[in-house]
Structure 1
Amino acid sequence: MITIDSLTKSYDEHVVVNDVSLQLPDSGVTSLIGPNGAGKSTLLSMVSRILGADAGVVSVEGLDVFKAPSKDVAKKLSILRQDAHTTARITVRELVEFGRYPHSHGRLTPECHAAVAEALEYCDLVDLTDRPIHQLSGGQRQRAYVAMVLAQDTRYVLLDEPLNNLDMVHATGLMQLLRRLADEKGKSIVLVLHDVNYASVYSDRIIAMRDGDVVHDGPPETVITEGALGDVYDMEFSVHTLGGDRIAAYFR
């Protein structure tokens, strides 16, 4: 379990994350939703210690992420950042091998090679193993980055807006892959999403933020409601049930 206790972050006089306390589960899919500037990405960055906190504590299975050695934290949680990219002319396999760095420090063991092969197969990248990253489509590239964090072999996988710049087909495929990782591999997937309907369909839990605060937290049936979404986005919503899923339409 990831425990977030009184986490706070400010820039000058502007509070971005305001005294947030949460517990994130050790399996399943948890989505962070909310408008731009709500504090979602900042919260995720502090949990992964990319950013420091002004106050508060984050612990992963009892390990204080702000005090523990980086290599120990990297064996507990992995993060795929919104700006993840590489300018190097590397292949898909070489990218995925980077995920093993916390375990091998660049000297791959037989266990590392096995983890890389499993990640490539699981993410349906075997046929693209030797393809340079820069030659992939956006959807293929994002799957390669997911394979990299999968090869890192952490229970907790954090993703900051992984659907950015993906069309509906590739966005849906990626959400299906993340759902499978939670269900079949027992991973805890925590991700920032802007599309509330993807959050509704694929999440076990939705945390809705606004102005640095958590304003709603629960399963889709309690967060994907006209009232709750109106609180979060200050817009008018109409919520309908389709195929057992709650789908929101919005209008001003």
Structure 2
Amino acid sequence: MITLTDVQKDYSSSVQIGPVTTKIEAGGITALVGPNGAGKSTILTMIGRLLDIDSGQITVAGHDVVNTPSKAIARVLSVLRQENHFVTRLTVRQLVSFGRYPHSRGRLTLGDERFISEAIDFLNLTDLENRYLDQLSGGQRQRAYVAMVLAQQTDYVLLDEPLNNLDMQHAVQMMKQLRRAADELGRTIVIVLHDINFAAHYSDRILAMKNGKVVQHGTPAEMMQDHVLSEIFNTDVTVIDGPNGRLAVYY
């Protein structure tokens, strides 16, 4: 479980995130949604200890993320940021191998190589593992980064807008693979998404933020309601029943 207690980040006297107190259950996919500037990515990066908190406490599987040594946290929690500055002359396999650093410290064992291969295979990158990153499409490159965090073999995986710059086909493929990672590998995935329909279709829980605070937290069935979404996104939303579940229509 991920627990946030009175977590706050102050950017200025008028701009702050929190205080946020909430729990994210272990297992499955939890989607963080909300309008731009709501604080979704800030909360995710604070959970991942990539951004300091100004007050409060965050624990992941009982580990205080502020006080637990980095090596110990890296064996429990992996995080993929929104901005990936890739080195063009890295191959897919070389990139994915970085996920093993918390375990190998740069000296890959046969066991590490096996985890690297399993992550590459899981993301359907086997035929591309010796390609350089600048030879890949945006969707293929994004899959390589997700393979890297899966190779880290952590129970908790944080992903900040992994669908950015992906077309509809590749976005759907990515969400299907993340759903498989939660179901087949037993990972707890926390993901920032802009599209509420993707969140509703693929996630187990949705946590909605607005103005730096958590305003709703529930199952897709609980969240996919006209009045709930209209309040969160500050616009009129109608939820309709589609062939594969409920869909939000904005107008």
Q: TM-score, normalised by structure 1?
A: 0.98
- For residues 78 and 51 of structure 2, what CA distance do their matches in structure 1 show? 14
Aligned equivalent of 1:124: 124
Q: Deviations over 1:168-227 (max 9, x none)?
A: 000000000000000111111100000110001001000010001111100011112111
> 2:53 aligned with 1:61, yes or no?
no
Q: Deviations over 1:85-141 (max 9, x none)?
A: 313410000000000000011110111001001001111011001000111001101
Q: Is the 8 A contact 2:42 2:51 kept in 1?
A: yes
Q: CA deviation at 1:244?
A: 4.6
- For residues 195 and 135 of structure 1, what CA distance do their matches in structure 2 show? 28
Q: TM-score, normalised by structure 2?
A: 0.98
- For residues 175 and 115 of structure 2, what CA distance do their matches in structure 1 show? 22
Structure 2 matches for 1:133-212, cutoff 5 A? 133-212=133-212
Counterpart code for 1:96: V
Counterpart code for 1:177: Q
- For residues 176 and 245 of structure 2, what CA distance do their matches in structure 1 show? 15
Counterpart code for 1:149: V
Q: Over aligned residue pairs, what C-alpha RMSD do you find?
A: 0.9
Identity %: 51
Q: Deviations over 1:144-181 (max 9, x none)?
A: 00100000000100000110000000000000000000
Aligned equivalent of 2:49: 49
Say which is worse superposed, 232-241 or 91-100, in terms of deviation: 232-241
Gaps of 5+ in 2: none
Aligned equivalent of 1:4: 4
Q: Is the 8 A contact 1:95 1:144 kept in 2?
A: yes
* SS in structure 2 at match of 1:36: coil
Q: CA deviation at 1:15?
A: 3.7
* SS in structure 2 at match of 1:165: coil
Q: Is the 8 A contact 1:6 1:57 kept in 2?
A: yes
Aligned equivalent of 1:84: 84
Q: Is the 8 A contact 2:88 2:132 kept in 1?
A: no
> 2:248 aligned with 1:248, yes or no?
yes
- For residues 15 and 43 of structure 1, what CA distance do their matches in structure 2 show? 14
Count, aligned residues: 251
Gaps of 5+ in 1: none
Counterpart code for 1:226: D
Counterpart code for 1:115: F
